[in-house]
A and B are shown apart, each in its own frame.
Chain A
Amino acid sequence: MEVCNCIEPQWPADELLMKYQYISDFFIAIAYFSIPLELIYFVKKSAVFPYRWVLVQFGAFIVLCGATHLINLWTFTTHSRTVALVMTTAKVLTAVVSCATALMLVHIIPDLLSVKTREMFLKNKAAELDREMGLIRTQEETGRHVRMLTHEIRSTLDRHTILKTTLVELGRTLALEECALWMPTRTGLELQLSYTLRHQHPVEYTVPIQLPVINQVFGTSRAVKISPNSPVARLRPVSGKYMLGEVVAVRVPLLHLSNFQINDWPELTTKRYALMVLMLPSDSARQWHVHELELVEVVADQVAVALSHAAILEESMRARDLLMEQNVALDLARREAETAIRARNDFLAVMNHEMRTPMHAIIALSSLLQETELTPEQRLMVETILKSSNLLATLMNDVLDLSRLEDGSLQLELGTFNLHTLFREVLNLIKPIAVVKKLPITLNLAPDLPEFVVGDEKRLTQIILNIVGNAVKFSKQGSIYVTALVTKSGTRSPDFFVVPTGSHFYLRVKVKDSGAGINPQDIPKLFTKFAQTQSLATRSSGGSGLGLAISKRFVNLMEGNIWIESDGLGKGCMAIFDVKLGISEQSNESKQSGIPKVPATPQHANFTGLKVLVMDENGVSRMVTKGLLVHLGCEVTTVSSSEECLRVVSHEHKVVFMDICLPGVENYQISLRIHEKFTKQRHQRPLLVALTGNTDKSTKDKCMSFGLDGVLLKPVSLDNMRDVLSDLLEHRVLYEAM
């Protein structure tokens, strides 16, 4: 036997088994070789596979396994030692790689599994998001519906349209079967079915308001699910086969105008609600969802607001119509009143004219008759006629005036006038009568009484004349005192407040007489027209009784007050009146103490501390001039001779008053000497003013030629001196004070 290095297989060669093993190994090898190929192919296809090197490892493992099995094919028969060696190497390698792969898989597989779990998680999340999105979408849809509904509801201000639209839109949005609105009746005790969407309802279908289900709904602002069998929901004929859909009811507050206070938003203590009932279609398995309920609540609120807007609008329209009617009526009334007044005025004017003409004739001819030769009885008769007709003429005037005063068509004619002069003139008018009756009249004008005032001169004269005339008329003896002053406050009547404003003041005039007096009980009647006190004394003095009434009207027009005080019969009386007058801008200014006219420089407004020198030989005269200047605030030095004057005069003195009484030239010399003294300091020379009793031109010329700055006529009044000083200091020359 040849010795060969071959290895004998362990077992005897069983032909069939061997064949099968051979085939299996073959196929295993093929499979083992093809798996990596497939893997490589598919991995190349896929983009994401994180563990490539694992594949390599795996591939190697499989290839080696395949190789092992392949090589196994040769070991079935007798094989050389090389084959056995290769076989062993392959097996060893395969073992190494397999173990390495096994070890690695321990790491890899958990990772792969976690990938799977992550995938599962993400899938769940995606499902959840899908659900949520579905929800949001429905909500958004609901919101859109609400907006649309609101828009529809608010686009009209007509109550019926609002309600109808609400029902229609709600029905559409929520796909309702029926929608109904119950409104409270006027009595508030019942709810009446006012609007439905589809079904016709019987007229006057009411339901008492005190039902528990209704109370339940009214008690909350949320939409409440109610039973389909409740009276408010039973709107259609009940038929057994219907499975009634769910019903929801919500309250709609009806707000009134009076509920809208700015400070607190209306508490819903109104207790007036309407009821909105919504029914889902029967036979559907639909349920009320939360978002649908919310929609219903929102809509109910909106409807409430829209209804109140509509109500407000209705109110304002009604009010406006009412106002227009009233306007028209008022206009008509006004026009009628105007026509009436005009007619009355025309009548009065015409009658007045018609009455005056014959009156005129009577008066004129009677006066003429008086001038002719008459017997005493005739004269008496004519005088009576004249007196009566004069009286009648006055009466007519008074009546016309009074009627115009009463209807307010009389207006004051304002103008500027001299108040002091007015008083004097009135007194002059009355004086003749007073003198005849031996009643001295004293006028006392307050020193602060403005001279130039703005007011109705004619009417004021009338008032004063009337009052003073009454005083004279009703006094038999004694005297009459007329006082005029400026009053500031505290008048007699408590409801009449005197407030002196800038350019106005209140003039108070008091007229006191020592005549017959008046019974205090009669005082209120004095100012009423045509009323006269019954005493004989007054009866005989005549008069229409209108004088005081007219005066009172005028005083009232001048925003004043008039009253009479009397201590009783025989004790005389005092008539007092206040009237408001304006202060005239112009001439008063120069008469007031020290206030200059506007263009004057302020330093001359005040003479305080103004140093002046007075030269006068006559002691008395000197003292008087000094007193005058001291009163104006100047600092006065006096000298009694020209020499003394020259000695004393200095640049501190602003003005030198020198008395020039003697006609000689000597006095004028002093002026020249003063000029000499100040030749060097021209601007410091004091102003020189001559005081003289002579006002003729020669004196003036002489003064001018001797360098005097001004001439004053003695005696100088206080006002005069004031004017002169301010003029002098302003213009540094004065030749007008003559």
Chain B
Amino acid sequence: MNTTIVAQLQRQFQDYIISLYQQGFLDNQFSELRKLQDEGTPDFVSEVVSLFFDDCAKLINNMSKSLERPENVDFKQVDSGVHQLKGSSSSVGARMVKNVCISFKECCDVQNREGCLRCLQQVDYEYKMLKTKLQDLFKLEQQILQAGGTIPQVDIN
């Protein structure tokens, strides 16, 4: 175990995760999620997060189908989808996604198809962006673990 490499990686991890918070991709809920990960459940966060992304993909797909034809928009369905998405994103701490969902819901309430489409696009973009970022983060984690170090706890204030 090379301590300098480990320290370096840990520093990198710390900086990266701090930047994610600072840029608004993640909020406090994500750190709560990280707290739940221990020796008994070492992949908890990545599991939840991948479930979330799958969920996102599925919901977005459904919603886009509902919003496809302008004359026959099932806003109820869209609304439920947005609701689900909002719930999921707030559970994992995906801040950007959650914020978009809020505006998405507003559009849905007033049955604004254009607005909904725009939000849908944004949601899609946001979740994909977050997915990439988190994948990088998990990669860093793996590197640290392989080098024999421990994942540092980072307190975000």
Using a CB–CB cutoff of 8 Å, the interface residues on chain A facing chain B are 424, 442-447, 617-621, 623-625, 627-628, 630-631, 659, 661-662, 693, 714-715, 717-718
Contacts and interface: CB of A to CB of B under 8 A. Distances in A.
| 5 pairs of A and B residues whose beta carbons are closest in the complex | A620-B88, A621-B91, A624-B91, A631-B36, A627-B36
Nearest to A448: B153
Contacts of B35: 631, 718
A714 B90 contact: yes
- Residue among A620, A631, A693 with the highest chain B CB neighbour number at 10 A: A620
A620 B52 contact: yes
B150 to A, nearest CB: 12
Interface string B20-41: 0000000011001101101011
A617 B29 CA distance: 19
B55 interface: yes
A206 to B, nearest CB: 86
Nearest to A483: B152
A620 B152 contact: no
A714 B91 CA distance: 8
Interface of B: 14-15, 18, 28-29, 32-33, 35-36, 38, 40-41, 44, 47-48, 51-52, 55, 83-84, 87-88, 90-93, 152-155, 157
Nearest to A714: B90
A619 B51 contact: yes
A661 B47 contact: no
Nearest to B33: A624
A724 B96 CA distance: 29
A182 B154 CA distance: 92
Contacts of A446: 153
26 contacts: A424-B157, A442-B14, A443-B155, A443-B157, A444-B152, A444-B153, A444-B155, A446-B153, A620-B55, A620-B87, A623-B51, A624-B36, A627-B41, A627-B48, A628-B36, A631-B35, A661-B83, A661-B87, A662-B83, A693-B87, A693-B90, A714-B87, A714-B90, A715-B90, A715-B93, A718-B35
Contacts, number: 75
A662 B81 CA distance: 12
Given A627-B48, A714-B90, A717-B28, 20 more contacts: A424-B157, A442-B18, A444-B14, A444-B155, A447-B153, A618-B91, A619-B55, A619-B88, A620-B48, A620-B88, A621-B87, A623-B48, A624-B91, A627-B44, A630-B41, A662-B83, A693-B87, A715-B93, A718-B35, A718-B36
- Residue among B84, B87, B88 with the highest chain A CB neighbour number at 10 A: B87
A661 B32 CA distance: 21
B127 to A, nearest CB: 12
A630 B39 CA distance: 12
Contacts of B41: 627, 630-631
B91 A715 contact: yes
A624 B48 contact: yes
Prevailing SS type, chain A contact patch: mixed
Contacts of A624: 33, 36, 48, 91-92
A400 to B, nearest CB: 34
Contacts of B83: 661-662
B38 to A, nearest CB: 7
A618 B48 contact: no
A189 to B, nearest CB: 78
A502 to B, nearest CB: 26
B77 to A, nearest CB: 13
B108 to A, nearest CB: 14
B49 to A, nearest CB: 9
B123 to A, nearest CB: 15
Contacts of A717: 28, 32
B32 A715 contact: yes
A717 B27 CA distance: 12
A664 to B, nearest CB: 11
Nearest to B11: A481
B66 to A, nearest CB: 18
Contacts of A693: 87, 90
Contacts of A619: 51, 55, 88
A631 B92 contact: no
B153 A618 contact: no
B56 to A, nearest CB: 9
Nearest to B87: A618
- Residue among A618, A661, A662, A718 with the highest chain B CB neighbour number at 10 A: A618
A414 to B, nearest CB: 26
Nearest to A449: B155
B88 A618 contact: yes
Contacts of A623: 47-48, 51
A618 to B, nearest CB: 5
A260 B36 CA distance: 73
Nearest to B22: A440
Contacts of A621: 87-88, 91
A311 to B, nearest CB: 71
Contacts of B40: 630
A621 B52 CA distance: 9
Nearest to A484: B155
A635 to B, nearest CB: 13
A661 B81 CA distance: 12
A301 B48 CA distance: 98
